[in-house]
Structure 1
Amino acid sequence: MGAQQREYRQRSRSVQSTQKITRAMELIAASRVVKARQRVAETTPYAAAITRAVSAVATHTEDIDHPLVTARENPRRAAMIVITSDRGLAGAYSASVLKRSEQLRELLQDEGMEVVPYLTGRKAESYYRFRGREFAQSWTGFSDAPTFEVAKEIAETGVREFVKGAENGGVDELHIVYTRFINMVSQEVQVTRLLPLEVVEDEAPRTENAYPLYEFEPSGPEVLDALLPRYITSRVWNALLQAAASELAARQRAMKSATDNAEELIKTYTRLANQARQAEITQEISEIVGGASALADAKK
C-alpha cells in the first residue's frame, strides 16, 4: 500500500510541474494575442482597399492585357504558399492548414498542374521532410511574430516565379493557404488564388445608361505595374498576421484545456493516494485488532 501511495504522490507532483508550464504558456499566448489582433485590425483595411483599387483598374480598363491579371492558357505549374507554425502545442492549428493544402494539391494535380510548395513554419517543413517531398523554399522562425521584410520577400519570390512562367521554370498560378482570424474562438483555413488576380467587384448602382467612369493617369497597365506588387505584398503580410493571431489564439485554448485537464488529473491522483492511505490505515488497524484478539484468546 505504501508503494502505491508513493506512486500516486509522484504522479501528482509530475502533473503539477506540467500544469505550471501549460499555465505559463497560456498566459504568454493570452498577452501576445492582444498585439497580434491589433496588427490584424491595422492591416486588414489597407489590404481590402488596395484589393478594391486593383480590381477597379483591372475591371474598368478596356482591353487590358497585363500578365498579372490575365489567366494563361493551359497552365502547367502552380505555386502554393503554405503558412503554418514554428512550434506545436497549438491544437490542430497546423494540421488543419496542412490538410487543406493537401486538398488543394490534389485539386491542382487533377487539373493537370504540377504543384510547387513554398513553406512558412517548421511544422510544414517537417511535414514535407518526413514524407520525403520536395519544396521550392521555406521560411521559419517568425510564425507568431512575422515581420514585413519576410512578407515582402515571400511576395517578391511569388511574383518573380509567376512572371517567369512555367515555360521558363516559373509558375502559372500562385495560391496561398493560411488561417483567417475571425475571433478568439473561431479561426478558419482560407485558400486564395493571388495570381493571376481574380477580379471580383460588385457593379456600382447605375441608371439604364449611366455607368461608373474611371480615368487612370498614367495608363491602366502602368498603374497595375505599380499596384500589383504592393497588392501581393499586402495580401501576404495580412495573411501572415492573420495566421499569427490564429496560432496564438489556438495555443491559448490548447494550453487552457491542458491546464484544466492537469487539474482534474491532480484531483484524481490525490483521491487515489488518499484511498491508498486509508486502506493502509485500515489494514494496520485490522492487524492490531487481530493481534490483540489473539493475545486475549491466548490468556484464557
Structure 2
Amino acid sequence: MGAQQRVYRQRSRSVQSMKKITRAMELIAASRVLKARQRVEQTTPYARAITRAVSAVATFSDVDHPLTTERENPTRAGVLIVTSDRGLAGAYSANVLKKSEQLRELLHEDQRTFVPYLAGRKAEGYYNFRQRPYETSWSGFSDAPTFEIAKEIGERLTADFIKGADEGGVDEIHLVYTRFINMVSQEVQVVRLLPLEVVEEDVSESGADLFPLYEFEPSGPQVLDALLPKYVTSRIYNALLQAAASELAARQRAMKSATDNAEELIKTYTRLANQARQAEITQEISEIVGGASALADAK
C-alpha cells in the first residue's frame, strides 16, 4: 500500500510540473495573440487595397504582363506552405499540411508538377521525414514574421515565376496558409498568387452604372512593374501575419485544454493516493485488532 501511495504522489507531482509549463505557455500565447491580431487588422486593408489596384490596372490597361498572363499548358506549380516552427498548437500545422496534400493531388490530376516552398520547421520536418524534395525553406519566424522575411520570400517566388518551367522555374504560384477569423475559428486557405486572377466587378452589385475610366502615367506596363512586386510581398506578409495569429490562438486553446486535463489528472491521482492510504490504515487497524484478540484468547 505504501508503494502505491508513493507512485501516485510522484505522478501527481509530475503532472503538477507539466501543469505549470502548460499554464505558462497558455499565458504567453494569450499575451502575444493580441499583438498578432492588431498586426493582422492593420495590414489586411492595405493588402486588399493593393490587390484592387493591381486588378484595376490589369483589367483596364489591356496589357499582357508576364505576371498577369495565363501561360499555355502550365507544367510546374509552386506552392508556398506556411506552418509553425514549434509544436504544442493542436492540429494547426497538420491541417495546413493536409490541405497541401489535397492540392498536390489536384495538381497531379491536371498533369502539373507540385513544387513546394516551405515556411516553418514543421513543414521541413514533414518533408525531411518522408524524404520528399522541396525547392527551398524559411524558418524561425512563424509566431512573429517581419516584412523583410515576406519580401525575401516574395522576391524568390517572383523570380522563379518569371523564369518559367522551361528554365527551372514555375508557371503558377499558390499559397496555403491559415486565415485568422477569430480566437475560436481559423480556416486553412488556398489562394493563387500568380498569375494574378482578375475578377471584374459586378455592376449590379456595386450599384454603379459604368466602370470607372482609368488613366495610367507613365504607362500601364510600368505601373504593373511597380505594383506587382508590392502586391506579392503584401499578400505574403498578410498571410504570414494571419498564420501567426492563428498559430498563437491554436496554441492558447491547446495549452488551456492541457492545463484542464492536468487538473483532472491531479484530482484523480490524489483520490487514488487517499484511497491507498485509507486501505493501508484499515489494514493496520485490522492487524492491531487481530493481534489484541489473539493475546486475549491466549490468556
Question: TM class, shorter-chain normalised?
Answer: over 0.9
| Partner of residue 75, structure 2 | 76
1:85-122 residue CA offsets vs partner (Å, 9 max, x unmatched) = 00000000000000000111111111111111100110
- 1:57 Cα offset (Å): 1.0
SS at match of 1:68: coil
SS at match of 2:212: coil
TM-score when normalising by structure 2: 0.97
- 1:10 Cα offset (Å): 0.3
- 1:296 Cα offset (Å): 1.2
**2:276 is the counterpart of 1:281:** no
In structure 1, runs of 5+ residues without a counterpart are none
1:50-83 residue CA offsets vs partner (Å, 9 max, x unmatched) = 0011111111223x21111111000010100000
Taking the TM superposition and a 5 Å limit, the aligned residue runs for 1:126-137 are: 126-137=125-136
User: What is the alpha-carbon distance in structure 1 between the residues aligned to residue 249 and residue 218 of structure 2?
Assistant: 44
| Partner of residue 272, structure 1 | 272
Taking the TM superposition and a 5 Å limit, the aligned residue runs for 1:1-300 are: 1-62=1-62, 64-204=63-203, 205-207=207-209, 210-299=210-299
- 1:214 Cα offset (Å): 1.4
Paired letter, 1:115: F
The answer on whether the counterparts of 1:178 and 1:239 sit within 8 Å (CA) in structure 2 is: yes
SS at match of 2:25: helix
Paired letter, 2:27: L
- 1:233 Cα offset (Å): 0.2
User: What is the alpha-carbon distance in structure 1 between the residues aligned to residue 125 and residue 109 of structure 2?
Assistant: 25
SS at match of 2:80: strand
1:141-171 residue CA offsets vs partner (Å, 9 max, x unmatched) = 1110111111000000010000001111110
- 1:230 Cα offset (Å): 0.3
Q: Size of the alignment, in residue pairs? A: 296
- 1:206 Cα offset (Å): 3.8
User: What is the alpha-carbon distance in structure 1 between the residues aligned to residue 118 and residue 20 of structure 2?
Assistant: 33
User: What is the alpha-carbon distance in structure 2 between the residues aligned to residue 201 and residue 87 of structure 1?
Assistant: 41
TM-score when normalising by structure 1: 0.97
SS at match of 1:188: strand
- 1:222 Cα offset (Å): 1.5
The answer on whether the counterparts of 1:52 and 1:201 sit within 8 Å (CA) in structure 2 is: no
User: What is the alpha-carbon distance in structure 1 between the residues aligned to residue 3 and residue 56 of structure 2?
Assistant: 76
User: What is the alpha-carbon distance in structure 1 between the residues aligned to residue 242 and residue 117 of structure 2?
Assistant: 18
- 1:212 Cα offset (Å): 2.4
Aligned Cα root-mean-square deviation (Å):
0.9
SS at match of 1:297: helix
Paired letter, 2:254: A
In structure 2, runs of 5+ residues without a counterpart are none
SS at match of 1:116: strand
Structure 1 stretches of 4+ moved >6 Å: none
Distance 1:14 1:206, change over 3 A: closer
Paired letter, 2:250: A
SS at match of 2:190: strand
The answer on whether the counterparts of 1:174 and 1:196 sit within 8 Å (CA) in structure 2 is: yes
- 1:17 Cα offset (Å): 0.4
User: What is the alpha-carbon distance in structure 1 between the residues aligned to residue 133 and residue 82 of structure 2?
Assistant: 16
